[in-house]
């Protein structure tokens, strides 16, 4: 089995702003280990001469022209927001 | 998150640490590119619009949208990278940097991790007459975040407010090696980068509007040590003065901690403009863990050598080369060259004026002196004035041809500045040209001698300097328009006759 600890799972959950009980954490630890094992099969291949793949497509340099077009109406943009104030999205106070 | 004031009182005169520790600073400089549209969508890039009026589903991070790379952003990045002496990567890709913050609607920022657009550059900058070099580790392209505003919007101090107009604006990040050895060096390097980016015309580098800002890392180590000490980081600063003050404070604070046998904690510190101190920003979350992975929505980039050479050939002469040429070609002092190349527009103005007038030193003196004074008073830049190189060279020629004196010229320039009229026209209209007609001056000279018998006699009796007073009187009577040499000559003739 791949080495993944309950601490790893807890850390990833924290980064993703998710909360789980101990039972769930144990279950996910087991599941993630199995997934890593499965992916680990790739390690059996000899990839010495294979360049690292960052993208499955062979496309390169897909670009748009630098032309400004009209944006969305602000009312439409803000319509789905839970809280709005004077044209801004309102969120809990943050500092930095 | 809580703020903890370091509350260390450091006498402003304390400088003795300089001998014991070496300061090590690296900068991450951010410049917004002055493209027309955003990096991945067609919303306009423009500062100062009403909140959230330049947004669309792409820059708001709605699910299911597809970003497409702005071609000009890649070209501008390449221009900047070449101006900063970097190598351009033949293959580069984009990655997702994952973190949660309210100004980042997708929950990740599209940036570049292991394969940035450019790498291995350097910048030479001047400090106290010495040329120094900073190596550049890498330059990458990313999207800017939205802008958070606080209580000032609604007066409610318990909420924050987000404007996504800035979200997805193309942002270049220039990462230096930790080659800077003092806060002054850091600022001089930062200024040099600003100059270069303005010269290659890829960013307006407007610090007040936040389109040019930097993060600074600072650490100390014992003199002679090769290992880097623990650093602290100052985030997102857009003022040379604030960064200078903050770095100077951090330098002293870290020295104090090391002196007392303590350990510097690696963290982000906040700078308080009002107290001139930094404070710790102890975040509850531990070290950042951005979990970068390749951006599946953008395909990789390949830039071919021919394209790089085409862009290189289109670059203007950069500030450092230009300074050298000004000294060599025009024979002006290095100090003048430094001043005149501070902006590309001023350097262009000088270049043209020196050419037209054939008198580089006078051109330099007028630009650095009277013209800069007028610009400062009006609070505008050289490209915004009605005065043109044509005007200034005409003014210089009027002096050199002895049509007006330097003193009259000083009164003509403000008129040109106000009206945009050519100097010659102003001189003609106001009747300011020097009286070089000997007969016209002669009668005034006679008059002055008659009215000032005392000084006239003093001169006849051998008091040479008495003539100065008489010259002054003639100039006064002609309201400065008489040719001073001619007045002098005539007085001598009359008095010794």
3-state DSSP assignment of residue A92: strand
Q: Does A81 touch chain B (CB under 8 A)?
A: no
Mean pLDDT of chain B: 90
pLDDT category at B438 given cuts 50, 70, 90 is confident
Question: What confidence score (pLDDT) does residue B8 get?
Answer: 55
- Single pTM value for the model: 0.81
Contact A68 B70 (CB under 8 A): no
Which domain range does residue B461 map to?
A: 438-496
Cβ neighbours of A94 in B, within 8 Å = 101-102, 148, 160
Question: What confidence score (pLDDT) does residue B6 get?
Answer: 57
Sheet with B159-163: list strands edge to edge: A84-85, A88-92, B159-163, B147-149
Tokens of A62: 């897909």
Contact B68 A62 (CB under 8 A): yes
Question: What confidence score (pLDDT) does residue B2 get?
Answer: 42
User: Concatenated DSSP letters for B146-180?
Assistant: -EEE-TTTTS-TTEEEEEGGGTT-EEEEEEE-S-B
Q: Does A18 touch chain B (CB under 8 A)?
A: no
Chain B interface test: which of A68, A80, A82 (most B C-beta within 10 Å) = A68
Q: Does A50 touch chain B (CB under 8 A)?
A: no
Same domain, B491 and B362: no
The answer to whether the beta carbons of residues B36 and B45 sit under 8 Å apart is yes
Same domain, B234 and B352: no
Sign of the torsion formed by the C-alpha atoms of A86, A89, A90 and A94 = negative
- Whether residue B11 has pLDDT greater than 70: no
Region of poorest pLDDT, from A80-84, B28-32, B57-61, B265-269: B265-269
The alpha-carbon gap from B316 to the nearest alpha carbon of chain A, in Å, equals 22
Q: Which residue of B has its CA nearest to A79?
A: B52
User: Concatenated DSSP letters for B404-447?
Assistant: S-HHHHHHHHHHHHHH---HHHHHHHHT-S-B--HHHHHHHHHH
Long-range contacts at B328-331 (CB < 8 A, ≥ 24 apart) = B330/B354, B330/B360, B330/B361, B330/B364, B331/B360, B331/B361
Round the CA-based radius of gyration of chain B to a whole number and report it. 30
Q: Which CATH number goes with the domain that contains B480? A: 1.10.10.410
Question: What confidence score (pLDDT) does residue B284 get?
Answer: 45
Q: Evaluate whether residue B351 is within a structural domain.
A: yes
Q: Does B301 touch chain A (CB under 8 A)?
A: yes
Same domain, B298 and B339: no
Q: Report chain A's terminal Cα–Cα distance, integer Å.
A: 42
Q: CA–CA separation, A39 vs A31, rounded Å?
A: 13
Same domain, B144 and B273: yes
Which position has the higher pLDDT, B37 or B430?
B37
Q: Evaluate whether residue B8 is within a structural domain.
A: no
Same domain, B333 and B252: no
Q: Evaluate whether residue B11 is within a structural domain.
A: no
> pLDDT tens-digit profile of B158-193?
889 999 999 999 999 999 999 999 999 999 999 999
pLDDT category at A95 given cuts 50, 70, 90 is low
Most confident of B16-20, B87-91, B100-104: B87-91
**Please, how many CA atoms are within 13 Å of residue B397, restricted to the half-sphere of its CB?**
15
B293 DSSP β-pair partners = B96
> pLDDT tens-digit profile of B197-222?
999 999 999 998 989 999 999 999 99
Q: Which residue of A has its CA nearest to B39?
A: A66
Which one of B429, B457, B476 terminates a domain? Answer: B429
How remote is the C-alpha of A15 from its chain's centroid? 10
Same domain, B424 and B446: no
* ipTM (interface predicted TM): 0.91
Q: Evaluate whether residue B36 is within a structural domain.
A: yes
**Torsion angle of the four alpha carbons A92, B1, B2, B3, in this order, in degrees rounded to the nearest 10:** -100
Q: Does B55 touch chain A (CB under 8 A)?
A: yes
Which one of B371, B402, B429 terminates a domain? Answer: B429
Beta strands in B177-252 (DSSP E): 212-222, 232-237
Which one of B287, B308, B329 terminates a domain? Answer: B308
Tokens of A36: 């890593």
Chain B, 30 to 49: residues with Cβ < 8 Å from chain A are: 35-37, 42-45
Sign of the torsion formed by the C-alpha atoms of A18, A24, A25 and A30 = negative
Average pLDDT over residues B64-84: 96
Contact B160 A54 (CB under 8 A): no
Q: Evaluate whether residue B481 is within a structural domain.
A: yes
Same domain, B75 and B185: yes
> pLDDT tens-digit profile of B370-420?
999 999 999 999 999 999 999 999 999 999 988 888 888 999 999 999 999
3-state DSSP assignment of residue A3: coil
Same domain, B230 and B343: no
Domain count, chain B: 3
Contact B69 A63 (CB under 8 A): yes
Cβ neighbours of A61 in B, within 8 Å = 69, 299, 301-302
Same domain, B473 and B490: yes
Average pLDDT over residues B43-65: 95
Question: What confidence score (pLDDT) does residue B223 get?
Answer: 92
Contact B160 A93 (CB under 8 A): yes
Q: Evaluate whether residue B143 is within a structural domain.
A: yes
Same domain, B207 and B330: no
3-state DSSP assignment of residue B467: helix
Q: Does B162 touch chain A (CB under 8 A)?
A: yes
Same domain, B180 and B290: yes
Question: What confidence score (pLDDT) does residue B17 get?
Answer: 46
Q: Evaluate whether residue B12 is within a structural domain.
A: no
Q: Evaluate whether residue B40 is within a structural domain.
A: yes
Same domain, B296 and B350: no
Cβ neighbours of A85 in B, within 8 Å = 153-154, 156, 159, 161
CA distances from B443 to B292, B333, B431 (A): 89, 44, 19
Question: What confidence score (pLDDT) does residue B13 get?
Answer: 47
């Amino acid at each position: 089995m791949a080495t993944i600890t309950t601490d790893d799972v807890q850390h990833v959950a924290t980064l993703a702003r998710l909360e789980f009980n101990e039972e769930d954490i144990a279950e996910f630890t087991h599941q993630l280990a199995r997934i890593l094992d499965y992916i680990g099969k790739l390690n059996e291949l000899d990839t010495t001469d294979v360049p690292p793949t960052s993208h499955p497509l062979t496309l390169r340099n897909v670009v748009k022209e630098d032309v400004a077009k009209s944006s969305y109406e602000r009312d439409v943009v803000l319509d789905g927001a839970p809280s709005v104030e004077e044209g801004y999205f309102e969120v809990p106070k943050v500092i930095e | 998150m809580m703020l903890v004031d370091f509350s260390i009182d450091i006498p402003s005169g304390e400088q003795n640490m300089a001998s014991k520790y070496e300061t090590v600073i690296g900068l991450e400089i951010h410049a917004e590119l002055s493209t027309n549209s955003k990096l991945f969508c067609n919303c306009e890039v423009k500062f100062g619009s009403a909140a959230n009026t330049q947004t669309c589903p792409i820059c708001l991070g709605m699910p299911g949208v597809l970003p497409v790379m702005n071609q000009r952003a890649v070209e501008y990045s390449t221009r900047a990278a070449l101006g900063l002496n970097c190598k351009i990567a033949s293959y580069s890709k984009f990655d997702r940097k994952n973190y949660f913050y309210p100004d980042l609607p997708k929950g990740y920022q599209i940036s570049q991790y292991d394969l940035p657009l450019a790498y291995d550059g350097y910048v030479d900058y001047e400090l106290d007459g010495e040329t120094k070099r900073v190596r550049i580790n890498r330059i990458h392209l990313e999207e800017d975040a939205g802008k958070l505003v606080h209580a000032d919007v609604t007066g409610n101090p318990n909420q924050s407010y987000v404007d996504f107009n800035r979200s997805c604006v193309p942002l270049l990040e220039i990462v230096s090696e930790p080659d800077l050895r003092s806060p002054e060096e850091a600022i001089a390097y930062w200024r040099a980068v600003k100059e270069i980016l303005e010269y290659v015309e890829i960013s307006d580098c407007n610090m007040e509007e936040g389109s040019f800002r930097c993060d600074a890392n600072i650490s100390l180590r014992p003199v002679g040590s090769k290992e880097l000490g623990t650093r602290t980081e100052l985030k997102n600063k857009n003022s040379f003065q604030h960064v200078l003050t903050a770095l100077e404070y951090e330098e002293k604070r870290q020295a104090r901690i090391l002196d007392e046998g303590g350990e510097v904690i690696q963290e982000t510190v906040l700078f308080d403009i009002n107290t001139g101190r930094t404070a710790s920003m102890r975040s509850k979350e531990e070290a950042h863990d951005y979990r970068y992975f390749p951006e599946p929505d953008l395909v990789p980039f390949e830039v071919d050598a021919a394209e790089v050479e085409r862009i290189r050939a289109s670059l203007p002469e950069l500030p450092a080369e230009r300074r050298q040429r000004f000294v060599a070609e025009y024979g002006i002092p290095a100090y003048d060259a430094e001043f005149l190349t501070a902006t590309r527009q001023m350097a262009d103005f000088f270049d043209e004026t020196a050419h037209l007038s054939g008198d580089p030193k006078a051109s330099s003196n007028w630009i650095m002196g009277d013209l800069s004074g007028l610009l400062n008073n009006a609070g505008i830049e050289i490209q915004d004035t009605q005065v043109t190189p044509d005007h200034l060279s005409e003014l210089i020629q009027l002096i050199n041809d002895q049509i007006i004196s330097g003193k009259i010229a000083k009164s003509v320039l403000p008129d040109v500045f106000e009206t945009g009229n050519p100097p010659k026209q102003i001189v003609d209209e106001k009747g300011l040209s020097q009286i070089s007609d000997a007969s016209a001056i002669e009668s005034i000279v006679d008059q002055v001698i008659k009215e000032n018998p005392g000084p006239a006699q003093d001169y006849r009796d051998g008091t040479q300097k008495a003539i100065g007073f008489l010259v002054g009187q003639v100039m006064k009577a002609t309201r400065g328009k008489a040719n001073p040499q001619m007045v002098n000559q005539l007085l001598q003739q009359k008095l010794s006759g």
